A and B are shown apart, each in its own frame.
Chain A
Amino acid sequence: MILVIQILVLFLSTSCLLKDESPIETRSESLNLIQSGDIIVSNTGNDSILLLDPDGGLKEVLVDSPTDATLILNGMTYDATTGSILYLNDSTTATLDAVKSISLTDGSVSTYLSNSNLNGVLPGLTRLTNGNLLIIEGTTAAEAFSSGKIRQGAPFISTLINAAADIQALSTGGFVVCSSGTANTVRTYNAAGVVQSTATSAVPTPSLGALAATACIQDANGRIIVAYSGATDAIRVYSSTALTTVVWTYTDANVLATPAKIALRPNGNILVVDQGFNHIVELTPDGTFVDLLGGAALATPVNLVVVP
C-alpha cells in the first residue's frame, strides 16, 4: 500500500512540475511584433531564433527548426536593404543551405537567396555599403551577391582568411573579418576586397596570447570590437580600422567563458552572447559591465542582432 501511495505521489508531482514554465508572450499582428531595440538571438542548442525584448525577456520564438545536429545558425545580420533580418540556414545537406529572411513586421520567415555556390560552412554574412551581400563560404572564401541577387566574382574573394568566423561591413565601404585560427585573426578589407590591416590577440600589445577571434564589429565611433576565445576570453576594442592601438580589454571568467558574436545597442552598449553560460553580457562603450540578459531562454546561443 505504501508503494502504491508513493507511486501516486510521483505521478502527481511529475504532472504538476514538469511543465511548469512561463508562457511565451504572443502579440496581435497589428501591434508590430518586432520593435526597435528588441534583440534577436540564434541558438544552436535547440536550432531556434528567439525574439527578446530590450531587457532580455523572451517575447516570441521566431524560428523553431527541428533540433538537428547538422543545422547551424551562425550567420545573422540586420539588412537595411530589405528591412529584415537575414540569417544563414547552414546545413550539412548542401541543398538546404540558404539565406533566409525574417520579416520585422510579423516575424514570418521566407527564403531570400538560394545559390548552389553556398554549399560549404556558412559562418557569417553582412551587407556592404555598395549593396552587395557578402557571405563567408567554406571558412576561407567570400561570396558576394548584388542587391539583385546576382553573384559577383567566382567567388568574390577565394582566400579571405583561414577559418573565418565572422564578417561585418565597415562604414567606409570595406569590411572586417575575423578568424578562429590563431594567426592573422582580424583583418580589414576595402570594398574591392584588398587587405588593409591585420591584428592578432598577441599583436598589438598588451598580448592576450594566441586566441581565436569569434566576432568582430565596427561601432559608431569607427572602433573595431573583437571577441577572443581560448585560454583567455576577452572583448577587445581597437581604436580604428588600422588595428594598431588597443583602447581597452574586458575579461571576467565569471560571466564571459565562451564568447560568440557581438551586437551593438542604439546607445552604443556592447552585447556579447556567451555559449558557456547561455546568456548575453552587456558592456558600456568604455568596457564597464552593465548586466546579464537572456537567461533561461538561451540554449548555446551563437549570434545576436539588435533591431535598429
Chain B
Amino acid sequence: MVFEKVAAVYSADGRRSLKPTGEPDEHYECDDVLVAVGQENAFPWIERDIGLDFDQWDMPKVDPVTFQSSNPKVFFGGDAAFGPKNIIWAVAHGHDAAISIDKFVHGQSVEDRPPPMVTLVSQKMGIHEWAYDNDLSNDVRYKVPLVDKDVALKDVRTEVELGFDRKLGYAEAQRCLNCDVQTVFSAPLCIECDACVDICPMDCITFTENGEEEALRARLNAPAHNTTQDLYVSETLKTGRIMAKDEDVCLHCGLCAERCPTGAWDMQRFTLDITHADHRCQQR
C-alpha cells in the first residue's frame, strides 16, 4: 500500500485541510486492507460558465436563508448546500428552499419570508391534572442493549444495537423534561403567596424588586449565570415587585402551577408550525 505524506494546515478561520508535504511516498506491505474513507462534496459536472459562483472549497455559494445560489434559478439544499449534515437538516432545507422557489416563480422577493406559526395551549385538565406527564423520573440514561459479542463477531451483517424493548423504552421516555411545555405566568392573577417559590425544586422562581438585568440575575434565589438564556420577567405585581424566572434550569415539572391557588401559573404546550411553501397552506 502506498501512502502520500500530508500535513494538517489550518487556515486563518481555523479550518483544517491536509496538504502534501512533498516528501517521497511511503510503501507498506500488508496482507489485508480495510478501506475506511470519508466523503465530501464535489461538483465537477457543473459547468463553470452558467453564472454559478464557487467558493474556495469548490462548493457553490448558497444563501443560508433562501438557499438560492448566485444563479437565481438554481437552489441548493441538504448536503449539497453546506456539506454533510443529517437528514433533519436536509428536510428543513427542502422546506425553506421550496418557499424560495414558490416565491421566485411567482415573481416575488425570496427575501420576504412568511414567519412560522406558534401556538401555546393550556395543558390543565383538572386541579392537579395535566394533559402531559409531569412526574419526572430520577433515572439515569439507559444503555441501548447490544447483541452478544460472540454472535456479533461471527457475521458482519449482524445488527449489533438491539434498541429498547417496550419496557425499557417507556422508562427512557419518562426521563423526558417536556421542554415543549412552557410555564406561563399571568401577573394580574398572582396574589404573591410564595407557593411556587417554596415548591420549585430548582429554585428558579424569585419575587424581587425590578432592576437592571445584571443586578437582577445576581439577586435571584439561585443566581442565573447563563446569559444566553433570557430571564422570564413579569409585569409589576401588586406589591411593586416582579416575578423573575430562570428558564435555564426549569424542569417543566409543573409543581409551580400545581401549587398556585389562582392559576397565575399555567403549563402551556408550545407548537411550532413551520412555514409551508404554497400560500394556501400558510395560516398567516
Chains A and B belong together in one complex: no
Residues of chain B touching chain A, judged by Cβ–Cβ distance below 8 Å, are none
A residues engaging B (CB < 8 A)?
none
